[in-house]
């Protein structure tokens, strides 16, 4: 079967650091996407990890461990505008289709 798990909701403080975890169980795996979705808007691309390790992109970093079926998104120096849902999605190597997690709603408090 195919399954992706991420926490439903997280709360963090402005200026702090937060890590959003994503675990996946898929019969075939090519890579892991992270998207950001503000309420009422379409998802926008944040990162794509194919190889193990950490990829840094400004305040956002994404990590992948293929052997553990695990990824995380790290957000530093949190800003109020980072309040959004963060979706992880696994790219299947059989048909190149994305399998989506339900999303983690991140609430930033002053």
Partner 1 sequence: EAGVTQSPTHLIKTRGQQVTLRCSPISGHTSVYWYQQALGLGLQFLLWYDEGEERNRGNFPPRFSGRQFPNYSSELNVNALELEDSALYLCASSSSGGSYEQYFGPGTRLTVT
Binding mask 2-31 for partner 1 (x = CB under 8 A): ----------------------------xx
**Which residue of 5, 41, 52, 77 would you call a contact of partner 1, by CB under 8 A?**
41
Contact 49, 32 (CB under 8 A): yes
Distance CA 87, CA 16 (A): 20
Q: Candidates 16-24, 53-61, 64-72, 100-108: pick the segment binding partner 1 (CB under 8 A).
A: 100-108
Nearer to partner 1, 17 or 102 (CB): 102
The answer to whether 65 and 53 have CB atoms below 8 angstroms apart is no
**Which residues on neighbouring strands pair with residue 87, listed in sequence order?**
35
9-13 and 60-65 beta bridge pairing: unpaired
Residues of this chain that interact with partner 1 (CB under 8 A) are 30-31, 33, 40-45, 48, 87, 91, 95-98, 100-103
């Amino acid at each position: 079967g195919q399954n992706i798990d991420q926490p439903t909701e997280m709360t963090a403080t402005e200026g702090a650091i937060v890590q959003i975890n994503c675990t996946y169980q898929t019969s075939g795996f090519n890579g892991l996407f992270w998207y950001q979705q503000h309420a009422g808007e379409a998802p926008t691309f944040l990162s794509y990890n194919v190889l193990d390790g950490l990829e840094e992109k400004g305040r956002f970093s994404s990590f992948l461990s293929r052997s553990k079926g695990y990824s995380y998104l790290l957000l530093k120096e949190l800003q109020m505008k980072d309040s959004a849902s963060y979706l992880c999605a696994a790219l299947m190597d059989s048909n190149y289709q994305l399998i989506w997690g339900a999303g983690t709603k991140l609430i930033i408090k002053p």
